[in-house]
């Protein structure tokens, strides 16, 4: 099944955002590395992470609103009509769940600045957020390997 132009744009923007979120989140959680690279711009790295997260959440929502339900119908077909346990179907389901979980945990952690959360809940949210980051960090190389033929085909088309 071919991707629609809307799905391609969501894929491009969210994959780029995930890479930037992984980098900024790693720098945010490793202050020694951050200070050695940037001289300790703590607020800048945190703000960059937050605004990239806003892009990660808002871009698919804007595309969804723009397509007036066509994107949801296409996703429904891809999830429920694709052969059982096809790797693309599993990847799509896991990624949608991970993106939703990451976005929810990230928003709740951001709101903790304004409405303090119970420390146990905040720790659980951090664990969920970090687990999602590990999922994305580990699935990115696997995703690139699984899509190697399409990537090679695209790169060859750019050369010719």
To 5 degrees, how large is the angle CA 21–CA 10–CA 101?
50
So what's the pLDDT on residue 52? Answer: 93
Going by the DSSP 8-state scheme, the letter that residue 68 receives in this structure is T
Going by the DSSP 8-state scheme, the letter that residue 114 receives in this structure is T
How far apart are alpha carbons 89 and 93 in whole angstroms?
Answer: 6
Strand, coil or helix: 39: coil
Helices (H), ranges, 30-160: 31-38, 42-67, 70-80, 87-111, 119-146, 148-159
Q: What is the pTM of this model?
A: 0.81
What's the topology of domain 5-159?
Answer: Fumarate Reductase Cytochrome B subunit (1.20.950)
Query: CB neighbours (10 Å) of residue 60?
Result: 21
Task: Mention every residue, 6+ apart, whose C-beta is less than 8 A from residue 143.
Answer: 91
To 5 degrees, how large is the angle CA 84–CA 86–CA 92?
105
Give the tens place of pLDDT for each residue, 52-90: 999 999 988 888 888 888 888 888 888 888 776 677 788
Given a contact cutoff of 8 angstroms between Cβ atoms, the answer to whether 83 and 89 are in contact is: yes
Give the tens place of pLDDT for each residue, 6-59: 888 888 888 899 999 998 888 888 888 877 777 766 778 888 999 999 999 998
Give the tens place of pLDDT for each residue, 5-18: 888 888 888 889 99
Indicate the domain borders of the chain: 5-159
């Amino acid at each position: 099944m071919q991707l629609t132009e809307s799905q391609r744009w969501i894929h491009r923007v969210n994959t780029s955002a995930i890479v930037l979120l992984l980098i900024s989140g790693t720098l945010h959680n490793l202050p020694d590395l951050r200070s050695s690279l940037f001289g300790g711009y703590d607020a800048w790295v945190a703000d960059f992470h937050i605004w990239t997260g806003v892009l990660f959440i808002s871009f698919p929502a804007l595309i969804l609103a723009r397509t007036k339900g066509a994107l949801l119908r296409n996703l429904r077909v891809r999830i429920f009509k694709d052969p059982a346990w096809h790797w693309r179907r599993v990847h799509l389901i896991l990624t949608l769940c991970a993106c939703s979980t990451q976005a929810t945990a990230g928003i709740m952690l951001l709101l903790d600045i304004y409405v303090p959360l119970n420390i146990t809940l905040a720790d659980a949210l951090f664990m969920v957020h970090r687990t999602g980051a590990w999922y994305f960090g580990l699935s990115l190389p696997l995703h690139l390997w699984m899509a190697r033929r399409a990537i090679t085909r695209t790169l060859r088309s750019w050369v010719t």
